[in-house]
Amino acid sequence: MEPVLNVSAVSMNFGGLRALNDVQMHVCAGEIAALIGPNGAGKTTFFNCITSIYEPSEGEVWFTPKAGVRTKLNGMKPNLVTAMGMARTFQNIRLFKNMSVLENVMIARHCRTKAGILGALFRPLTVRQEEKEIVERSYALLKYIGLHKWYNEQACNLPYGAQRKLEIARALATEPTLLLLDEPAAGMNPQETTELKQLVLRIRDEMDMAILLIEHDMSMVMSLAERIYVMEYGCLIAEGTPAEVSSNPQVIKAYLGEEVHA
Ligand SMILES: Nc1ncnc2c1ncn2[C@@H]1O[C@H](COP(=O)(O)OP(=O)(O)OP(=O)(O)O)[C@@H](O)[C@H]1O
Ligand SMILES: [Mg+2]
């Protein structure tokens, strides 16, 4: 299948620290891939490099949006990367805490709307229709994720697991081709994690999206991912199916006895 993301030889230096070293990775259309590795391995730095939050020190990031042209993302502004079709959630939740749940999704949706500042000021009919559509689509997304009963609640009043789901709703509002999830199950209880697994599968199947998942919860990774990349000290040390990766001696050593069962 055609890769939506193709990363070649990406390295990232922070002063003397080489946080990523010659990383090659691809994600195909419609696939769920995972990136795992011990704390400090460079996983979040990798997301920051491919979404242009950091400019990689070396290497290239190529992206092919749905029905679009293969494009090099190096040097592109992060908001343009989102508009191209790559959306992400953050390891440390980044919601507008004092805005309502619905408003949080509506703001994310704005990258798919046409009205500029003038439109927002003078609000002609076309803009008002667009606003109505934003409200309706944002509410529909909340319903899809199961957060609609809280639509008018301030984001900071939501239980932690629901805030994590709201981050996903915000990412979905941008209609991505590739969804990047940075530890979506962190801080969730087992029931919430089970629901999250089902949600991720539903998103991939029903919204025709590729997903790249960073996660420490191995049961989640092994049950969701079709392909897994393993990173240690900024280098990829393994790539394969859950069964291949979990029986790889280098991976087992990197996790030093932690469970990596397929
Ligand atoms: N902006 C930065 N400046 C300097 N060093 C950084 C920066 N961002 C990350 N690092 C360093 O890069 C390395 C990789 O960090 P990163 O956050 O990518 O790891 P991670 O695999 O996401 O870990 P975790 O599983 O704990 O989230 C760490 O040594 C970290 O301290
Ligand atoms: Mg991280």
Does residue 147 lie in a domain region?
yes
Tell me which residues have their CB closer than 6 angstroms to ligand 1.
14, 17, 19, 37, 39-45, 91
Closest ligand 1 atom number to CA of residue 45: 18
Nearest ligand, CA 46: 1
Q: Are residues 64 and 194 in the same domain?
A: yes
Q: Are residues 140 and 201 in the same domain?
A: no
Determine the residue of 44, 91, 231 to mutate for testing ligand 1's pocket, defined as the one with the most ligand atoms within 8 A of the Cβ atom: 44
Please tell me the total count of domains within the chain: 2
Listed residues 126, 160, 194: the one ending a domain: 160
Query: Which helix (H) or strand (E) covers residue 119, if one does?
Result: helix 117-122
Does residue 261 lie in a domain region?
no
Residues 117, 114: Cα–Cα separation, whole Å: 10
Closest ligand 1 atom number to CA of residue 42: 18
- Burial class for 71, CB neighbours closer than 10 Å (0-12, 13-18, 19+): middle
Per-residue pLDDT of the chain (262 residues; tens, 9 = 90+): 679 999 999 999 999 999 999 999 999 999 999 999 999 999 999 999 999 999 999 999 999 999 889 999 999 999 999 999 999 999 888 899 999 999 999 998 877 666 665 566 666 677 778 788 889 999 999 999 999 999 999 999 999 999 999 999 999 999 999 999 999 999 899 999 999 999 999 999 999 999 999 999 999 999 999 999 999 999 999 999 999 999 999 999 888 655 566 5
Determine which residue's CA is closest to atom 1 belonging to ligand 1.
14
Nearest ligand, CA 41: 1
Cα–Cα separations (whole angstroms), residue 131 to 32, 125, 159:
33, 10, 28
Q: Are residues 149 and 186 in the same domain?
A: no
Does residue 260 lie in a domain region?
no
pLDDT tens for each residue of 89-109: 998 888 999 999 999 999 988
- CB-based contact 5:196 (threshold 8 Å): no
Q: Are residues 81 and 187 in the same domain?
A: yes
**Could you list the residue range(s) of the whole structural domain that residue 218 is in?**
3-85+175-255
